[in-house]
A = this chain, B = another copy of it.
Amino acid sequence: MSFKIGLLGLGTVGTGTAEILLSPDGRHPLVQELEVYRVGVRDLSKPRDVQLSKEILTTDLEAIATDPEVDIVVELLGGLEPARSLILKAIAHGKHVVTANKAVISRFAEEIYDAANEKGVYVMLEAAVGGGIPIIQPLKQTLGVNRIQAITGIVNGTTNYILTRMQNEGVDFADVLADAQKLGYAEADPTADVEGFDAADKIAILASLAFGGRIKLEEVYHEGITKVGAADIAYAEKLGFVIKLLAVAKQMSVKSNEPEQLQVRVHPTLVPKQHPLASVSGVYNAIFVEGDPIGQVMFYGRGAGAGPTASAVVSDILNIASILKTSVLPQPPTPILHPLLACTHQHYCQIAPMEELVTRFYARFLTNDNPGVIGHLGTAFGNHGVSLESVVQTGFRGDLAEIVVVTHDVREGNFRQALAEIRALEAVDSIASLLRVL
């Protein structure tokens, strides 16, 4: 018995995937039964790092998605189109789909999973979050018996690499970015990574799996790392924190008569040094999950790269092949899909507005060197019920005094009102930065 794989895309991850499939020795025996049947590429003449016979390659991607011989379509094109259309076409033709495409899944999950459920096929996406780190399958298969309380992840390698270097070298964002681009750790257009779009896609996917509902991507708050300064990293260090771009999905504590709400958000965050996420450095990713009754678990590994991502892709293929070997063939109109591998969410999770978030804040103010200024700040915070953990005048920037404030837990809406009052104070020049604290 062999399973015919149609691969869409032969870039970095596609090549890594083909390499695993073509070298089954020393891997799970079932890998031998996976056949690279067709590979869709843009340019047939381009030299390739992987040895594939010419008859396998084609530029007609749609022909792969609709080929009656193909069992599993593996979409590794990236981007929204033609990836989305090809996935839908493959599903319509009764093919199982494996994808690493977080952008498509986070935007079109409803359309894709409705189609897949109707057709009785699987759409698997282990590679879409955390590269090689097993996180999607554990969330579906092992952690699902828990009531998940929170997922907190470092899910973007580019920004973690930049923040780690800023911390180690004491330099500013812009200095590291240029170098990261030269080294291939950041794209020529780094917007998706550094502005938090990529992390937002990923936390939307994780939240959906962990909390069993669909997520509207436009409701996911995200804020990037471009405004994090070397000064903030240095002050955080002194206060016992490192700054990480965290993607968070968390159950709000609500009163029994109120509907359940989730926070789903991405932003740079001060992480206490003793927290397991604090020591996740460079291009590594980690996802920290809290649930009842499991407590805290963390998954750590390389969040990108050909090898790790291809490992995740092939593990999805292997899971589908295993099901196909042992299952009743799903028959429309009432296909029976494996309850832990299929996605059958029907409702949308309710996402709480950011004003309702309760968290600690770190803020850095530049003020005139006025003896009363700390008192003014304290009064303004007090007027809005914001209680302060520490207020330190750290020194001067030019003529201006620099004051760093860390609050106790506060409702974000109240904190923002206090900031509005502070901005209006004559002694205050500017709010140089504003970060949340884990």
Chain A residues near B (Cβ < 8 Å): 16, 19-20, 26-31, 126, 132-134, 137-138, 141-147, 212, 276, 279, 291-302, 305-308, 310-312, 314-315, 318-319, 321-323, 325-328, 336-341
Report the separation of the CA atoms of residues A306 and B294 in the bound assembly, to the nearest whole angstrom: 9
> Are A145 and B302 also in contact (CB < 8 A) when A137-B137, A322-B338 are?
no
CB distance from A100 to the nearest CB of B (A): 14
Residues from chain B with a CB closer than 8 A to the CB of A26 are 147
* Contact between chains at A315 and B142 (CB < 8 Å): yes
* Contact between chains at B300 and A300 (CB < 8 Å): yes
Report the separation of the CA atoms of residues A20 and B145 in the bound assembly, to the nearest whole angstrom: 8
Residue of B29, B142, B300, B328 near A137 (CB, 8 A) is B142
Residue of B29, B30, B297, B308 near A293 (CB, 8 A) is B308
* Contact between chains at B294 and A308 (CB < 8 Å): yes
* Contact between chains at A137 and B141 (CB < 8 Å): yes
* Contact between chains at B323 and A143 (CB < 8 Å): no
Residue of B28, B305, B327, B328 near A295 (CB, 8 A) is B305
Report the separation of the CA atoms of residues A29 and B308 in the bound assembly, to the nearest whole angstrom: 31
* Contact between chains at A132 and B294 (CB < 8 Å): yes
> Are A145 and B315 also in contact (CB < 8 A) when A138-B138, A294-B301, A297-B134 are?
yes
* Contact between chains at A295 and B300 (CB < 8 Å): no
> Are A336 and B325 also in contact (CB < 8 A) when A142-B126, A297-B301 are?
yes
| Minimum-distance CB pairs A-B, first 8 | A293-B307, A297-B301, A28-B144, A134-B142, A294-B311, A298-B300, A145-B314, A134-B138
Report the separation of the CA atoms of residues A297 and B276 in the bound assembly, to the nearest whole angstrom: 14
* Contact between chains at B291 and A311 (CB < 8 Å): yes
Q: Which B residue's beta carbon lies closest to that of A251?
A: B26
CB distance from A147 to the nearest CB of B (A): 4
A-B contacts, 22 of them at CB < 8 A, read A27-B144, A28-B144, A28-B145, A28-B339, A29-B212, A134-B134, A134-B138, A141-B315, A141-B318, A145-B314, A145-B315, A276-B279, A294-B302, A297-B301, A298-B299, A299-B300, A300-B300, A319-B340, A322-B341, A323-B326, A325-B336, A326-B339
Given A19-B293, A29-B339, A276-B300, 18 new contacts (CB under 8 A): A16-B293, A20-B293, A28-B145, A29-B212, A138-B142, A141-B318, A143-B311, A144-B315, A145-B311, A294-B311, A296-B302, A297-B301, A298-B298, A299-B299, A319-B340, A322-B338, A323-B338, A325-B336
Report the separation of the CA atoms of residues A352 and B302 in the bound assembly, to the nearest whole angstrom: 30
* Contact between chains at B295 and A307 (CB < 8 Å): yes
Residues from chain B with a CB closer than 8 A to the CB of A326 are 323, 327-328, 336-339
Residues from chain B with a CB closer than 8 A to the CB of A312 are 142
Report the separation of the CA atoms of residues A29 and B344 in the bound assembly, to the nearest whole angstrom: 10
Residue of B28, B298, B325, B339 near A301 (CB, 8 A) is B298
Report the separation of the CA atoms of residues A19 and B145 in the bound assembly, to the nearest whole angstrom: 11
Residues from chain B with a CB closer than 8 A to the CB of A318 are 141, 144-145, 340
> In this complex, which of A212, A306, A310, A340 has the most chain B Cβ atoms within 10 angstroms of its Cβ?
A340
* Contact between chains at B327 and A340 (CB < 8 Å): no
Residues from chain B with a CB closer than 8 A to the CB of A294 are 132, 301-302, 307-308, 311
> Are A299 and B297 also in contact (CB < 8 A) when A137-B137, A326-B336 are?
yes
> In this complex, which of A293, A318, A321, A323 has the most chain B Cβ atoms within 10 angstroms of its Cβ?
A293
> In this complex, which of A294, A318, A327 has the most chain B Cβ atoms within 10 angstroms of its Cβ?
A294
Report the separation of the CA atoms of residues A31 and B321 in the bound assembly, to the nearest whole angstrom: 25
Report the separation of the CA atoms of residues A321 and B336 in the bound assembly, to the nearest whole angstrom: 13
> Are A339 and B30 also in contact (CB < 8 A) when A295-B307, A300-B276, A327-B327 are?
yes
